[in-house]
Every structure is written in structure tokens, then in C-alpha cells.
Structure 1
Amino acid sequence: MRKRLTALMMTAALACGSLIACGSDSTTAYASETIYGEVTAVSDTGFTITVGTYENNELTLGEETADITVNDDTTYSMAMGGGEAPSGDGEAPTKPDDAATEESTDETTEETTEETTDEETTEDTEDSSDDTAMTEATVEAGSEAPADGEAPSGDKPDGEAPSGDKPEGEAPSGDGEAAEGEAPADSGASADGEAPSGDGEAPADMGDAQTELTLSDIEVGTQVAVTFDADGNVESVEILGGTQSAMGQPGGNMTSAADITYSALYEYNADETVEGESIASTGTDENAILVTDGEVTVKDSTITRTSDDSTGGDNSSFYGVGATLLTTGGTLTVDNVTIDSDAAGGAGVYAYGDGVAYVSNSTITTQQNTSGGIHVAGGGTLYANDNTVETNGESSAAIRSDRGGGTMVVDGGTYTSNGTGSPAVYCTADITISNATLTATGAEAVCIEGLNSLTLTDCDLTGNIPTSEQNDCDWNIILYQSMSGDSEVGNSTFSMTGGSITAKNGGMFYTTNTESTFVLENVDITYADENDFFLKVTGNANQRGWGTSGENGAQCSFTAINQEMEGDIIWDTISTLDMEMTDGSVLTGAFIDDESAAGNGGDGYANLTIDSSSKWIVTGDSVLTSLTNNGTIVDEDGNTVSIVGTDGTVYVEGTSSYTITVSEYAD
């Protein structure tokens, strides 16, 4: 059965509680102002911030600081709905030379309410050629049906997907298999499609709950909006949230899967085929097609999604609200379809929860923010073959996943992300890609967060991250944990065999605040002109708050197989690195211990093992904890490099000007 319907999207509201706190001092310099900043210290009576400007979900810090003293009437809240800026112009006010205050008289606003009368909608049922019942409901203003005013017609499918996509309605075999249209057992999706349990889980239903925030919820690194009354007293403190465009800044969303319902132009809950149709969706936060059950095939069609009023944000990123085609249950097969989306949150094809999608031979173009090309979250499963995908908005990776993860298998095609904060692949799922061209023109090539994995085979991967003051460094591929709740804490894995990687700016591989595994085999690598590093394994002082500074190192395993590598390896003592070079691998670079983000340091290490067929060409003095060398170590002129223990033991007396310092050595 298919329906045209209008449904309400429900979001949870977080009630503000008040704090009984000591101190009644006011900050009269900011009377009647709202200022934005990042917390640098917290006390029993308030906190200190570095003041900045807040625009487009990003806080840019200045040099000014402010001491914030809360009072008995200060209220606290959490920014909702995708981390949008609180009300105001987002600018930090100019601090006056002389603080002047004046009392203001509260005006009482009389609220009036009026009752509305529900309008009954009469549903007409008529037989179609395939004896499938169709229920029509009132369509939202601006929504369009196909030319004849009816839902798209077509024969009831026999369960088979288009040729070459999925044989006999079954998912491809292997670890990513979905039996008979169900989400894989380990996908993390529950039977009702809710987000999985664990650190990546969307919070429990907050629809009617009140959560009291206090000063204890504010810590160093928290980004806040502080509003003062006319006397300069702190009236309210809002904790700012974050979205993918902020690279996983903590805080923000409190909506759960239980709070979400969908508005759809066409909903399908039984087997159906849509063929040769033109479908236009114009409703606010509306899905053009929503599949909740059955096997639905859409082929040889054109689908557009256009809306100036759609909101995008977390509900789109986490649950698929407003996606052009969405499956939350059953199987959606898309073959030879042109999808054009110009609406915030208007992803091309999205699989959530128990939904399984197959997308082949299709062209997907999205224009606005939080509008990925192909997307999974909440345990959804998606298979893609030979598609052409282009995205142009912020937080709109061509291959995108989000909270609750899922499984994606991609073979062939071209995937291009043009927006800021839009990698070619944004990975909070288990993603496998083969024989594809993957390009990000305004962001890093790949971002993997937390307990998730990306496996590439014979792909061409390109990234071009812009330099940002919020970042410690520039990178092409990052494995990290943002602490945003979008992914479960655990080992991030990047594996690539064959193909090529190109960096247009910055270093190549960066990992911080997570466990991580890299496996690189016979990949052709082109470096940026600067080539800041080949691999960086350190803590960070990132302004978005990736862990606690001085304690947010990485635990990294890096294996190179028949791999040529150029650039320095940077590590620190709050991190661990185990690097192995095998099968004729060559590294040209130095190992550098950089403690700039390590706080007071720790017991971390960097260990290197070189097999008999591999070579390290040393380009500078280097520091390692343990070196096991069964291969060749020389400088760029072929000179032997000295290897000296931290206790003064000379293991190798070299002729090069460079020295490798180690705590342990074996050959």
C-alpha cells in the first residue's frame, strides 16, 4: 500500500533548570548582551571564557577573556536542533571602556490562545491495475503529484532487483550480508529501528522529560553563549552543540528515534514498483519516497526535492528526516534514477534502522547543507553500484554515515563532495568501497570516527582540506574520536589496497584521541607541496574539544605492505605507535617526538619494525622507543645512519650526519 501523507516531526525539548550558586557579582561590561566563548577554567561560583564570535555553527576565538560569575537566578540550557547559533547576531560585543548599567522595567506580555478545529480528511480508495490499494490523504501545500494527480503507477514486483544489482532479492554474501531484507544482526539496529545501544546511541526518549543542567555540566573546553540582564547579571548560559560541519564538536542533540515521525509525499509499506515517473517533493522536511516495509523498486525515473523551509540539522543527519528517498524498513531498490535535491537535509538515498537500500546506475546531486549523497545511520544498510554522486553543501559527504552507524558496500562510480566540512567519505559505520573515484574539493578526503572502519580497494582518493585556526594541523585522512556521541568509542580502521591517494594540502594521515589501525598496501601516493607529515600520532588542543588536552593521545598500529612513503612520522608520549614495514616497503622521512600537545607527557612510545626486504631512508635526526631492523637504514646519500641508545650505547656507528636515538634496538 502506498500513501501520500502529512505527518508531524516531533523533537524533544530540553527544559532549563536553575542553579542555586554562591556569588552575586555582575559583569556590567556586558549588560544586556550575549557573548560567546570557550571555557578555560571553572570554579565554584562560575567560569572563565575566551570570548569569540559564533557564526555558521563555528566558534572563532579572539584574544579577550571574561570571568563569568553565576547567581541564584541563572538558568542553563543545551542548544538544540543541529547546533544552530543561539538568537543574536553571533558577534562578540565590543567591550565598553566604562561599564554603564540602567534598570529596565519588565513588561508583561499577555499571551492569547485559540483553539483550532481539526479538519477531517476523507480517504478515497480505488483499485489499480495491480490490485494494490492506494490511500490518498491531503498533500501539504506545495507538494506535487505526478502529472495525472495519482501516485506513480507500476506493476507489483516479483521481488527481483534490476539486473546486476541483487540476485533474487537477497543481499550480497559476505560479512555485510542482510538476510531477506533485514538489517545485519550486528548492525546495531533494534527491531523498531531505534538507534543501537552503546556510546553511539541516541539518548532515550526526552519528549516529556525535564533535565536540570547545573554549573557542574560546564567544563574546560565547553563552548557557551552567556546572556546578561540590564544590570550585568548572568541571566542564562547555553551550552552550544555541534554537527558534522564542526567535526564532531561535543554537545547538542537530545532527540531520540522515538521522537521522530516522518512527513512523506509517498509512503510504501508493501511490495511495489515505480517505473518511468517524475516525482517532485516540495514540502518542509519531507521525504519524496519513504519505505517502511515490503520490497519497493524505483527505476527509470526522475525525483526532485526542493524546499526553502527545510531545516536539516541533526534530525536529518541522524534519522533521515527530509531525505529524498528514505527506507526505515523493508528493501528499497533504486536503478537508473536521477535524483536532484535542493533542500536542507535533503540526502539522496538514506537507509536507517532496519531499512536496506540498493542503488545502482543512478545520478544523485544535492545542493544544500546536511545533504549527503548516499547515507546510512541507526544501523541501516546500503549497497551502491556505478553511481555518479555530487554534493555541494556543508556537512554533506558524498558517502556519508552518522549516529548509530550501519553497513555500506560501494562498487564503482564517482563520488564528489564540494562543500566545506564535507569529506568524500564520512565514516561512522562499516564501509567497503571498490573501484570508485572519491574526491573532496573543500575538505579532507576521509574522516573516520570511533569504532568504525573503511576499506578501500583500487580507488582513487583525493582531499583538499582548508587551513583552519581551530585545528592543530591540516590532514588528508583523519581517524579520531570527537566525543560528540556520534560513534562508539573504540578502534578506528583505515585499510587501502591499490589505487591512489592525493593530498592537496597539509599532511597525509592524522590520528588523535582514539585507538586506530592503518593498513596500506601498494597505494600510489601524491603529497601536498608542504607535506607536513606522512603520519601524525599525537594528542591535540583542537578548539572543538576532542578529549581532554594532555590526555587525548592516540593508540595506533600502522602496517605498510609493499608501500612507498614520504614524510615525517610525528608522535608524542601520551600516544603509542607500532609501525611495521614489510614486503619491500620504503619510508623516506624522520621520526619526531613532538610534545607540544602532550601536557605533562606520559608513558607512550613509538616502535618500528623493518623486515629484510624494506628500507628506511632517514631525512633527519630521529627518536624511537624501540627499533627492530632486519632491512636497510641509510640517509638520502646512501650513508649509514648511527643508532645510539638513550644510555649512550652505540649500536651502529654510521657515516651520516643523522642519528637515530632509541631506548631498545634489535637487528
Structure 2
Amino acid sequence: MRKRLTALMMTAALACGSLIACGSESTTAYASETIYGEVTAVSDTGFTITVGTYENNELTLGEETADITVSDSTTYSMAMAGGGEAPSGDGEAPTKPDDVVTEESTDETTEETTEETTDEETTEDTEDSSDDTAMTEATVEAGAEAPADGEAPSGDKPDGEAPSGDKPEGEAPSGDGEAPADMGNAQAQISFSDIEVGTQVAVTFDADGNVESVEILGGTQSAMGQPGGNMTSAADITYSALYEYNADETVEGESIASTGTDENAILVTDGEVTVKDSTITRTSDDSTGGDNSSFYGVGATLLTTGGTLTVDNVTIDSDAAGGAGVFAYGDGVAYVSNSTITTQQNTSGGIHVAGGGTLYANDNTVETNGESSAAIRSDRGGGTMVVDGGTYTSNGTGSPAVYCTADITISNATLTATGAEAVCIEGLNSLTLTDCDLTGNIPTSEQNDCDWNIILYQSMSGDSEVGNSTFSMTGGSITAKNGGMFYTTNTESTFVLENVDITYADENDFFLKVTGNANQRGWGTSGENGAQCSFTAINQEMEGDIIWDTISTLDMEMTDGSVLTGAFIDDESAAGNGGDGYANLTIDSSSKWIVTGDSVLTSLTNNGTIVDEDGNTVSIVGTDGTVYVEGTSSYTITVSEYAD
């Protein structure tokens, strides 16, 4: 299908110049075909998509676009993964599958050696544990015993309190996670009005090239008000685990090898479970990764969906798609310290929270190598992470050092992305860094309006609640290997920088960019997807231009001896017809702006110093022609309002 689709797209491009220019009542290039894509624009008669491929419940976008023109005969539907209504949920993790063996716990400590999985699985009926402690084993040789009891590791847990109040939406699945048998292929009936920017769709054409049907795959808030993806919910998830714990237990000095498809090596659903001084490997060529791994922890090496998981001095090696190192979901709480985590494949973060999970990490060494595999990662439903010390390195494409859809606090850590931006924060979430060394190296992509090192945005994917994104950093350092430094688009955002040592890329495209975007990636509606940004610099040296547009707002304040070397540039290239946006700058008496080019601001309040690089005063002129300051520099600052 992929080769045939590519050939069709090339033919259409030759005939029409580009697919986008070929919109008509029918799209004959796709006659009798189904194509997949993400909606980038919607009109009264149809919509435009970026065309991609859809495999394993994941949409991979290409470079081509296509106009989709619908008619009265076009039908609409939404795929329901598993089908049926999601139960209300009581916050409990799913019960184990029927093919999982439960053995009664004994008070006697027994040593255990984990043996390789055989082709034949041992299946026994589930038995109740006499002391309410159960350890389950799946796909291991018959006769393997539970890891031995032992003492919990000494030492304090990391600082930071678990959040109070209700956890974010995204309950751990309850019951057996199975959908009613007669609803396995259920679909939700929807209409054209439910198609919006960011929606992922499958479009089927008839033999004449007319649009026969449109099925929503996900990629935005769906017509049913639930997150997109392929509409899998927590209630649809059934976990498979090599070892499952639902009561207090200690695993010490063990070597555990998980090889099952999309299985967890260790799953904690309740109780306080400690794993220490052990080696755990996760290897599988057949695991699928994707949304179920990112959102719910399916296939993660160690997963807690309830209770507390403590990991101390453990070596974790994962070579399976979706094989995150340690994952906390829902009511699960994880403490990870003095451990080494290495993951190789896609959607395999190092430490990961989603669905409201909580994770604390101390002095770990983490390295990831796959795509979409941030060393510190969060996803749909968010959660809380507190990290102190350690080294966190992401080597894969699209894998920032920190991918933040949660509330994350990191101190005294080295954070590096070798093939992506350093930090990505989406929606109503926050990242607070103290005395960290942060490095990013985003590759240039035609899908991006610019290259950035740190981005605050709203993707419209449904992975994060819409709201203010916050980046705060005190001390430490930031290094950019490519592009500009800070970029915010299609969201409200807050930046606070205090005494951070910044190293810029050679080209240093900008220090801060606060604008709309061309919507090549479905980030809002073109001409309406600006940012509303507050930026505070405290004792901070900054170099590079500040770029803004009139569909965005910027309130920037320089305090406590801050210095900016750069210009303010109004760039309307992604602003459509423009708007009532603004850029306001306030400089306190101890701070300085060194102007490097003609600049445009809405409001300038200057109690400090404004000069050019040669120390010349810079002219400040109102949009009405009023000369507020007549300088000796060749540069001019144009303002609507001025105060000193």
C-alpha cells in the first residue's frame, strides 16, 4: 500500500504541480484507495490533510498534502478501540489475564533463578493468596518461584511531596479490561462538523475518486470529547506481566529477563514493592509500542498502576518498542534511585509518568536511543515528577531530554538531547529546573517554521490540557547546538530565567520567538495560533533577537542587572491578517538593553540603560512621530507608548 500510494502521489504532483493545487469535486489520484493524514485546515466543503502512513495505530506524516472535498453522500465514523462504553472506573489496576499463574506466598525466603521463556506457556487457575500477597508469573517455565523476600533499601526517599487532591483524568483500568464481545468493532457515528485541525483521519475514495467515507483515527479532542489516538481508553487496556505484585514484597539480587510481546517485566498494582540490587532486561522483536505504551505503560519494563514501587541500584536494559524503563501510571507512585536505565527502541522513555502517576528519581544514569523516547518523559493525563541529580541523555529523533506534559521539577542534573530540542512543554504543564546543565540539538525540518532549543506550545493532539505552559530555570546552563533558543506558539506561556549561563548555536536565529505558525503540523488555525507570553529575566544575560507578531502578546520584564543584546522584530509572516497583539518591555534601573538593530515595540518602559553595541544612545520614536529620545546611534526603536 505504501509503495502504491507514493506512486499515485508522484503522478498527481507531476500533473498538477502539487496535490494541494488539485482540489476538485473528486481526487482521481486516490480512486478506490484509502489514504491517511492529519487535518491542517477546514473549509465549508472539505478539509486539507498532510498525507502519511498508518501502521500499528500510529500515523507517520510525510511531506505531501491533499485537498479533500466531501459531499452529501460522504459518511463519517470514528473507530472505537475495543468498543463499548468505558466503565466509570474505581482507580484500580486491571486484574491479571486468565493465563497468568498465581502462586501462594510463603513466609519462608526462597532464592529464585529466572529462566528463559519456552514456547509452551504454563497456565493455571488463579488461586487466592492466604496472606493477601500475590506474585504472578506469565510466559515463564513451570516451577519458577517468586523472587525472595528481603529488606527495603536504606536511605531517604527523594525530596518532594506527592500532589494532594484528585489526580488528573485517566483512571487505571478496572475489571478485566475486556470489551463486550458483541461490540469489538463498534464505531461512533459523527458528522463533518466534528472534523477539526489536528484530527487524524482515514479517507476512502470510490472508483471515481469521490470521497466515500471519512473515519476519525484521532490526533485531537474527538467528537466524543475524549482524547484522540485510536480512541483507546484505560478501560480497554489489559496488562501482561512476567511478575505482578499486589501486596508488599521485596525483590533483591535477582536477574529478571522479560521477552513477551508488550509485557511488563514487573507490574505493581498495589502494596509497597521494593526492587534492589538487581538486573532487569526487556527484549522483544514483536512488541508494538505506540499509544498504549505512551499513555498507559503497556510493555514498560517496570510499571506501577497502584501502590508504591521503589527501585534502588537496579540495572534496566530495554530493547523492545514501548519498553520504557520505569513508568508510573494513575495511582502508581515510583521511587527510582542509584540505577542505570538504557532503552533502545521507539516510544521507550527512561523514566515516565502518565495518567496522573507520580515518580521521584535520585542520582540515576539514563540513556534512550529510540524515536519519541525522551529520557524524562510524560504523556496523556500528566502527573508529577521530582528528579534530583543524575545524567539523562536522549539520542533518538524527536526525543528531547525532557518531554513535559506533567508537572516536573529537576535539580542538579545533566540533561542532553543529541537529536532533538532540549525541552518540549505542551499545554497546561510546567518544568522547573535548578542548577541543571541542559543541551539540545534539534535537526532542521521542512515541517517546522523555525529551529528551537526549548519550545512551549499546544499541539492539539489531545495529549495535554489546554492552558499555560511554564518554563522556569535558576542557575545552571543551557546550550543550543542548532537554531534559536526559546520558541512559543499556539499557547499561553510563562518563562522565568535567573542567572543561567547560556551558550548559543552559531547562527542563533533568535533568543525568543513569540508568534503564530504556518500550521504544517496542525498546531492551531493559521492566522489565529499565536502565543500569549510572559517572560521574566532576573540577573540574566541574553543574546539574540526577540521576534513577535500581532496575533501574539508578549510582556517581557528585565530585572536585577539583566542584559539583553539584540533587537525586537515584528514578523507578520505567520500572522495571517494580523491582530491586536503587542510586545511590551519593561527595564528596571539595574538592567540594560544593547540594541543591535531597528526595533518595534508596543510599549517600552525604561528605567535602565538603552544603548547600541558602541555605547551610543538609541533614538526612541512614537508611531505618531513623537521623538521621546533623540539618540546618536543609527538604530531606532519605534513604540506606541513610552515611559521612563
- TM-score bucket (shorter structure): 0.7 to 0.9
Considering Cα pairs closer than 8 Å and 6+ residues apart, tell me whether 1 or 2 has the greater RCO.
1
Runs of 4+ in 1 over 2 A off after TM superposition: 1-169, 195-210, 213-253
Say if 1:23 and 1:454 are closer, same or farther in 2 by CA, change over 3 A: closer
Say if 1:91 and 1:204 are closer, same or farther in 2 by CA, change over 3 A: closer
SS in 2 for 1:145: coil
Relative to structure 2, which stretch is displaced further, 252-261 or 55-64? 55-64
The Cα shift of 1:47 comes to 4.6
Q: For each residue in 1:146-179, what CA deviation from the matched residue of structure 2 results, as whole angstroms up to 9, or x when unmatched?
A: 899999999999999999999999xxxxxxxxxx
The Cα shift of 1:252 comes to 2.5
Are the counterparts in 2 of residues 45 and 70 from structure 1 also a CA contact under 8 Å?
Answer: yes
In 2, distance between residues paired with 1:8 and 1:52? 13
The Cα shift of 1:553 comes to 1.0
What's the counterpart of residue 154 of structure 1?
A: 155
The Cα shift of 1:234 comes to 3.2
The Cα shift of 1:419 comes to 0.7
Relative to structure 2, which stretch is displaced further, 299-308 or 243-252? 243-252
In 2, distance between residues paired with 1:298 and 1:99? 21
Say if 1:126 and 1:601 are closer, same or farther in 2 by CA, change over 3 A: closer
The Cα shift of 1:223 comes to 5.2
Are the counterparts in 2 of residues 590 and 621 from structure 1 also a CA contact under 8 Å?
Answer: yes
The Cα shift of 1:530 comes to 1.1
In 2, distance between residues paired with 1:541 and 1:108? 63
Say if 1:124 and 1:138 are closer, same or farther in 2 by CA, change over 3 A: farther
SS in 2 for 1:6: helix
Figure out how many residues of one structure are paired with residues of the other and give that number. 643
Are the counterparts in 2 of residues 246 and 421 from structure 1 also a CA contact under 8 Å?
Answer: no
Are the counterparts in 2 of residues 586 and 614 from structure 1 also a CA contact under 8 Å?
Answer: yes
Q: For each residue in 1:459-511, what CA deviation from the matched residue of structure 2 results, as whole angstroms up to 9, or x when unmatched?
A: 00000111111111111000011111111111111000111100011110001
Relative to structure 2, which stretch is displaced further, 583-592 or 16-25? 16-25
The Cα shift of 1:552 comes to 1.1
Q: For each residue in 1:628-653, what CA deviation from the matched residue of structure 2 results, as whole angstroms up to 9, or x when unmatched?
A: 10110000111100000111110000
Say if 1:378 and 1:619 are closer, same or farther in 2 by CA, change over 3 A: same
In 1, distance between residues paired with 2:612 and 2:270? 63
What's the counterpart of residue 9 of structure 2?
A: 9
The Cα shift of 1:602 comes to 1.2
Say if 1:5 and 1:485 are closer, same or farther in 2 by CA, change over 3 A: closer
- How many percent identity over aligned positions? 98
The Cα shift of 1:308 comes to 1.0
Does residue 265 (structure 1) correspond to residue 260 (structure 2)? The answer is no
Are the counterparts in 1 of residues 92 and 269 from structure 2 also a CA contact under 8 Å?
Answer: no
SS in 2 for 1:416: strand
Say if 1:537 and 1:160 are closer, same or farther in 2 by CA, change over 3 A: closer
In 2, distance between residues paired with 1:601 and 1:343? 47
Say if 1:565 and 1:127 are closer, same or farther in 2 by CA, change over 3 A: same
What's the counterpart of residue 44 of structure 2?
A: 44
In 1, distance between residues paired with 2:365 and 2:449? 34
Provide the TM-score with structure 1 as the length reference. 0.77
In 2, distance between residues paired with 1:489 and 1:375? 21
Are the counterparts in 2 of residues 480 and 511 from structure 1 also a CA contact under 8 Å?
Answer: yes
The Cα shift of 1:610 comes to 0.4
The Cα shift of 1:457 comes to 0.5
Does residue 334 (structure 1) correspond to residue 334 (structure 2)? The answer is no
Are the counterparts in 2 of residues 41 and 47 from structure 1 also a CA contact under 8 Å?
Answer: yes
Say if 1:659 and 1:383 are closer, same or farther in 2 by CA, change over 3 A: same
Are the counterparts in 2 of residues 503 and 527 from structure 1 also a CA contact under 8 Å?
Answer: yes
In 2, distance between residues paired with 1:125 and 1:119? 18
In 2, distance between residues paired with 1:228 and 1:21? 18
Relative to structure 2, which stretch is displaced further, 247-256 or 503-512? 247-256
Relative to structure 2, which stretch is displaced further, 232-241 or 416-425? 232-241
Q: For each residue in 1:592-622, what CA deviation from the matched residue of structure 2 results, as whole angstroms up to 9, or x when unmatched?
A: 1111111111111111000111100000100
Q: For each residue in 1:560-609, what CA deviation from the matched residue of structure 2 results, as whole angstroms up to 9, or x when unmatched?
A: 01110000001111111110001111000000111111111111111100
Are the counterparts in 2 of residues 434 and 458 from structure 1 also a CA contact under 8 Å?
Answer: yes
The Cα shift of 1:296 comes to 0.6
Are the counterparts in 1 of residues 19 and 65 from structure 2 also a CA contact under 8 Å?
Answer: no
In 2, distance between residues paired with 1:484 and 1:653? 50
Unmatched tracts of structure 2, length 5 or more:
none
Are the counterparts in 2 of residues 6 and 138 from structure 1 also a CA contact under 8 Å?
Answer: no
Say if 1:545 and 1:84 are closer, same or farther in 2 by CA, change over 3 A: farther
In 2, distance between residues paired with 1:73 and 1:346? 44
SS in 2 for 1:9: helix
Are the counterparts in 2 of residues 101 and 230 from structure 1 also a CA contact under 8 Å?
Answer: no
Say if 1:56 and 1:406 are closer, same or farther in 2 by CA, change over 3 A: same
Are the counterparts in 2 of residues 24 and 72 from structure 1 also a CA contact under 8 Å?
Answer: no
Say if 1:526 and 1:135 are closer, same or farther in 2 by CA, change over 3 A: closer
Q: For each residue in 1:318-369, what CA deviation from the matched residue of structure 2 results, as whole angstroms up to 9, or x when unmatched?
A: 1111100001111100000000001111000001111110000000000111
In 2, distance between residues paired with 1:15 and 1:112? 65
In 1, distance between residues paired with 2:193 and 2:109? 33
What's the counterpart of residue 525 of structure 2?
A: 548
Relative to structure 2, which stretch is displaced further, 337-346 or 534-543? 534-543
SS in 1 for 2:181: coil
Are the counterparts in 1 of residues 117 and 141 from structure 2 also a CA contact under 8 Å?
Answer: no
Are the counterparts in 2 of residues 203 and 255 from structure 1 also a CA contact under 8 Å?
Answer: no
Are the counterparts in 2 of residues 16 and 75 from structure 1 also a CA contact under 8 Å?
Answer: no
Are the counterparts in 2 of residues 51 and 66 from structure 1 also a CA contact under 8 Å?
Answer: yes
Relative to structure 2, which stretch is displaced further, 94-103 or 548-557? 94-103
Q: For each residue in 1:379-416, what CA deviation from the matched residue of structure 2 results, as whole angstroms up to 9, or x when unmatched?
A: 11100000000001111000001111111000110000
Q: For each residue in 1:101-155, what CA deviation from the matched residue of structure 2 results, as whole angstroms up to 9, or x when unmatched?
A: 9999999999999999999977599999999665666649999998999999999
Say if 1:33 and 1:645 are closer, same or farther in 2 by CA, change over 3 A: same
Are the counterparts in 1 of residues 328 and 359 from structure 2 also a CA contact under 8 Å?
Answer: yes
Q: For each residue in 1:255-298, what CA deviation from the matched residue of structure 2 results, as whole angstroms up to 9, or x when unmatched?
A: 11122121111011111110000000111110000111111110
SS in 2 for 1:413: strand
In 2, distance between residues paired with 1:355 and 1:371? 18
The Cα shift of 1:15 comes to 36
Say if 1:150 and 1:334 are closer, same or farther in 2 by CA, change over 3 A: closer
In 2, distance between residues paired with 1:107 and 1:277? 17
Unmatched tracts of structure 1, length 5 or more:
170-193
In 2, distance between residues paired with 1:163 and 1:89? 18
SS in 2 for 1:13: helix
The Cα shift of 1:76 comes to 3.6
SS in 2 for 1:386: strand
SS in 2 for 1:126: coil
Relative to structure 2, which stretch is displaced further, 145-154 or 604-613? 145-154
Relative to structure 2, which stretch is displaced further, 530-539 or 31-40? 31-40
Are the counterparts in 1 of residues 12 and 18 from structure 2 also a CA contact under 8 Å?
Answer: no
Does residue 249 (structure 1) correspond to residue 226 (structure 2)? The answer is yes
In 2, distance between residues paired with 1:5 and 1:150? 59
Relative to structure 2, which stretch is displaced further, 57-66 or 599-608? 57-66
Q: For each residue in 1:172-196, what CA deviation from the matched residue of structure 2 results, as whole angstroms up to 9, or x when unmatched?
A: xxxxxxxxxxxxxxxxxxxxxx079
The Cα shift of 1:543 comes to 1.4
The Cα shift of 1:25 comes to 6.3
Are the counterparts in 1 of residues 620 and 639 from structure 2 also a CA contact under 8 Å?
Answer: yes
The Cα shift of 1:549 comes to 1.1
The Cα shift of 1:16 comes to 32
Q: For each residue in 1:426-460, what CA deviation from the matched residue of structure 2 results, as whole angstroms up to 9, or x when unmatched?
A: 00111000010000011100000111110001100
Say if 1:10 and 1:602 are closer, same or farther in 2 by CA, change over 3 A: closer
Say if 1:354 and 1:49 are closer, same or farther in 2 by CA, change over 3 A: closer
Are the counterparts in 1 of residues 380 and 464 from structure 2 also a CA contact under 8 Å?
Answer: yes
The Cα shift of 1:30 comes to 3.2
In 2, distance between residues paired with 1:125 and 1:593? 67
In 2, distance between residues paired with 1:23 and 1:5? 17
Say if 1:539 and 1:41 are closer, same or farther in 2 by CA, change over 3 A: closer
In 1, distance between residues paired with 2:101 and 2:124? 64
Say if 1:5 and 1:232 are closer, same or farther in 2 by CA, change over 3 A: closer
The Cα shift of 1:58 comes to 9.2
The Cα shift of 1:65 comes to 6.9
The Cα shift of 1:216 comes to 2.4
The Cα shift of 1:210 comes to 3.4
In 2, distance between residues paired with 1:13 and 1:146? 61
Say if 1:37 and 1:84 are closer, same or farther in 2 by CA, change over 3 A: farther
Alignment of 1:553-592 (within 5 A): 553-592=530-569
Q: For each residue in 1:24-76, what CA deviation from the matched residue of structure 2 results, as whole angstroms up to 9, or x when unmatched?
A: 96544433334455657656664555767779999898998765454676444
What's the counterpart of residue 112 of structure 1?
A: 113
SS in 1 for 2:193: helix
Are the counterparts in 1 of residues 139 and 242 from structure 2 also a CA contact under 8 Å?
Answer: no
The Cα shift of 1:6 comes to 40
In 1, distance between residues paired with 2:100 and 2:314? 63
Are the counterparts in 1 of residues 311 and 339 from structure 2 also a CA contact under 8 Å?
Answer: yes
Q: For each residue in 1:75-95, what CA deviation from the matched residue of structure 2 results, as whole angstroms up to 9, or x when unmatched?
A: 444578999999999999999
SS in 2 for 1:502: strand
